[in-house]
A and B are shown apart, each in its own frame.
Chain A
Amino acid sequence: MGRKSRISEVVNNIPPSGIRRFFDIVSQMEDVISLGVGEPDFVTPWRIREAAIYSIERGYTQYTSNWGLLELRQEVARLLDRRYGVEYRPEGEVLITVGVSEGLDLALRAILNPGDEVLIPEPCYVSYRPCTLFAGGVPVPIGSTAENGFRVSVDALEAAITPRTRAVLINFPNNPTGATLRRSDLQRVAELAERHDLIVLSDEIYSELTYDSKHVSFASLPGMQDRTILFNGFSKAFAMTGWRIAYAAGPSDLIGAMTKIHQYTMLAAPIMSQKAALEACRSGEGDMEAMVQQYDERRRMFVKGLNEIGLECLLPEGAFYAFPSIRNTGLTCEEFAEQLLREERVAVVPGTAFGEGGEGHVRCSYASSLNDLREALTRMERFVGRRLKNSPAATASISG
């Protein structure tokens, strides 16, 4: 006491990551089946790895343009047009970033004045709140519930709007819930953005992992391209998480402002990752579709299994996460995750890691082999069976 903290207040006030604590426990145990992993279980397709190796052999080891290789921006623009029907100019409207994480950080810093508010539907990816705070903004969490399929409640968004509201940050398909939004849902968000002159930050990193319908990019809605920054990348669709390569696309004033920060802080994304991404755009779609097919099969099998063992779970329409309710066990999600790990050696992530609205749920990634998923279900069934037998709710219904 007495000594002034050497750490800034903003950083000091951000609580330690719930996921980190969990990771520390898991990494000290053996024979754990981890459903806590937020990345594909596939290794990057060989043709992409090989292209990167070849580029290194040929001596591509320099900085690139701050914006990223023009060739790559052109391919990204083509890909966005081909797959989502949105048109961007490779010069001025596309920026290559080091993961969507960097892109979001740039965008928040580029648009927020101190005290500006950002509406963030929860449960959501863990970095949205801290990044908003780092950028001097005020995150305003907006809850969503399993009952409405974890879709954004436009009424709740509307109710939270103040004169300081600058932006809304959406992520569909969603981590951790796997929820997607239909065109009609997006349309209502668009009308709200129009009405209140908001910028929409749309993190669409899981767009290719959309199973029962076709992904609708927010920027493709009429009139929205000028107020949307679209974030996407290669990590999930092409199993390229470690390459840290992504892009942001949007109107030139916003992308230009982001590039101003990027040029001083990051300079450019690594050229070997950009070369790999180039190959992914040009010839990776076949590999991608094969992976998506397998996620889809595991999704159906795993979610059916969860429901059968007594953990109610909606069939998620995107990403590779199931977000079952664990309420009937009588445990909090933290207790559930910790006890499941210690008793049955299955790692899941407590829902509260993704915002308070995540209580009562755990996130299970099904980016694992079918055999591991089956074994995890067997172990979880034993665990849940013991809890249901002991829980007051179950006892009451038996005696009543």
Chain B
Amino acid sequence: MDTTTHQILHILERDARTAPTDIAAMVGVDEDEVRRIIRECEEKRIIRKYKTVVDWERAGEEGVLAFIDVRVSPAREVGFDDVAGRIYRYPEVLAVYLVSGGYDLQVVVRGPNLQEVAMFVAEKLATIDRVVSTTTHFLLRRYKEDGEILVEQEEDRRLAVTP
């Protein structure tokens, strides 16, 4: 990938609403070229989509998030893919990863409360064929997400005018 494209992607990753005219100035190419590069990245699905990062807690919405370690006995031909597919189709499942280490699938589930998530795990995940075990970790506090530190604001402590 050329450096201009790389740079544009980084700018959009920091702030998806950065205007093409600003991006053009920032990377030193004209605006049409910026629009062309963005369109091309969208077409190639390098840019998957534009989303908003919402702090639901601050918005007053209740809800819980859980990380579930799932151990699976793999099957010939399909490995873990079929089990993963049974899991990721549920809308309450936000993410499914195949990972190395002590368990196989890491599943992120969002639900309205502890009971609902626990029931989902017990009834839907644990009962899938070849799921050997599940361990549920409820999220207690977010410190950093998507590269952004959430718990503290690093304020600008500089003096207002310095040489």
Q: Are A27 and B163 in contact, CB atoms less than 8 angstroms apart?
A: no
B154 within 8 A of A: yes
Using a Cβ–Cβ cut-off of 8 Å, how many residues does chain B contribute to the interface with A? 18
Shortest Cβ gap from B100 to chain A (Å): 26
Q: Are B163 and A370 in contact, CB atoms less than 8 angstroms apart?
A: no
Report A-chain residues with C-beta under 8 Å of the C-beta of B27. 297, 300
B75 within 8 A of A: no
Among residues 28 to 64 in chain B, which have CB atoms less than 8 Å away from a CB atom of chain A? Answer: 28
Among residues 368 to 399 in chain A, which have CB atoms less than 8 Å away from a CB atom of chain B? Answer: 370, 374
- A134 and B11 CA atoms in complex are apart in Å by 47
- A14 and B163 CA atoms in complex are apart in Å by 16
Across the interface, B11 reaches (CB within 8 A) one of A32, A297, A374, namely: A297
Q: Are B159 and A37 in contact, CB atoms less than 8 angstroms apart?
A: yes
- Overall SS of chain B's interface: loop
Among residues 214 to 258 in chain A, which have CB atoms less than 8 Å away from a CB atom of chain B? Answer: none
Shortest Cβ gap from A135 to chain B (Å): 19
- A27 and B22 CA atoms in complex are apart in Å by 31
Knowing A297-B26, A297-B27, A301-B26 touch, does A22 contact B18 (C-beta < 8 A)?
A: no
- A19 and B154 CA atoms in complex are apart in Å by 26
A169 within 8 A of B: no
Q: Are A301 and B163 in contact, CB atoms less than 8 angstroms apart?
A: no
Shortest Cβ gap from B72 to chain A (Å): 37
- A36 and B163 CA atoms in complex are apart in Å by 8
Q: Are B158 and A39 in contact, CB atoms less than 8 angstroms apart?
A: yes
Report A-chain residues with C-beta under 8 Å of the C-beta of B26. 296-298, 300-301
Q: Are A34 and B22 in contact, CB atoms less than 8 angstroms apart?
A: no
Q: Are B161 and A34 in contact, CB atoms less than 8 angstroms apart?
A: yes
Among residues 289 to 335 in chain A, which have CB atoms less than 8 Å away from a CB atom of chain B? Answer: 293, 296-298, 300-301, 304-305
Q: Beta-carbon contacts of A1-34 to B below 8 Å, as 1s and 0s?
A: 0000000000000000101001100110000101
Q: Which 8 residue pairs of A and B lie closest in terms of their CB atoms, listed nearest first? A: A297-B26, A36-B161, A23-B161, A301-B25, A304-B25, A26-B160, A126-B163, A38-B162
A interface with B by C-beta (< 8 Å)? 17, 19, 22-23, 26-27, 32, 34, 36-39, 41, 43, 125-127, 175, 293, 296-298, 300-301, 304-305, 347, 349, 353, 370, 374
B interface with A by C-beta (< 8 Å)? 7, 10-11, 15, 18, 22, 25-28, 154, 156, 158-163
- A and B contact pairs by CB, cutoff 8 A, 6 listed: A37-B158, A37-B159, A38-B162, A297-B7, A298-B26, A347-B160
